[in-house]
Amino acid sequence: KPPARILGGGRDNSGKSTVINYLKPKKAHSEDIVPTVGFSVETFTKGALSFTIFDMSGQGRYRNLWEHYYKEVGGIIFCIDSTDQIRMCVAKDELDALLAHADLSKVPIVVFANKMDLPTAITPVECCRKLELEKILDKPWHIAASNGLTGEGVDAGINWLGEQMVRLRSTRR
């Protein structure tokens, strides 16, 4: 099967690259994670699925490039920094713009509420409330409490996304 295309989005410093690094095979892990400039592409296999993930920079000057990668995307990973309540409203605006794009209708999304290990992290329920995830009615969504450094919650989130992508492919046939 061709690799499933996944868009990795979220604000800068939300942990997108760290989560993606965790998902790669151990021998391909990077020791030092640096902020993504523009985008990077990672291809790997997890379980029975092959993934190509477009890790998009969350910096403001690069976010307008995201939509160039929306076509043929089968799933979305959206990371938020669950400790950054000040910028949560900006993350919500970015998420809303992403979800409103016509090329992403019905595309499943997993939201990684990242950095849950930190004492100032808000709960996944509070993240849902602040992002108004319950208003997403046109696509499957899931929130996963995560720690990109240890991988806690990451496997469960990506497994959910993979299941949704398989289900979506089978209904399109």
Q: Is 85 a catalytic residue?
A: no
DSSP-derived 3-state class of residue 45: strand
Report the alpha-carbon distance of residue 5 to residue 39 in Å, rounded.
14
In sequence order, the 6+-apart residues with CB closer than 8 A to the CB of 99 are: 109, 136, 139
The tokens describing 9, both together, are 């989005």
Q: Rounded to whole angstroms, how far apart are CA atoms 105 and 31?
A: 36
Task: Tell me the DSSP string of 40-51.
Answer: EEEEEEETTEEE
Instruction: Select which of 13, 40, 52, 59 is catalytic.
Output: 59
> Which residues are the active-site residues?
59
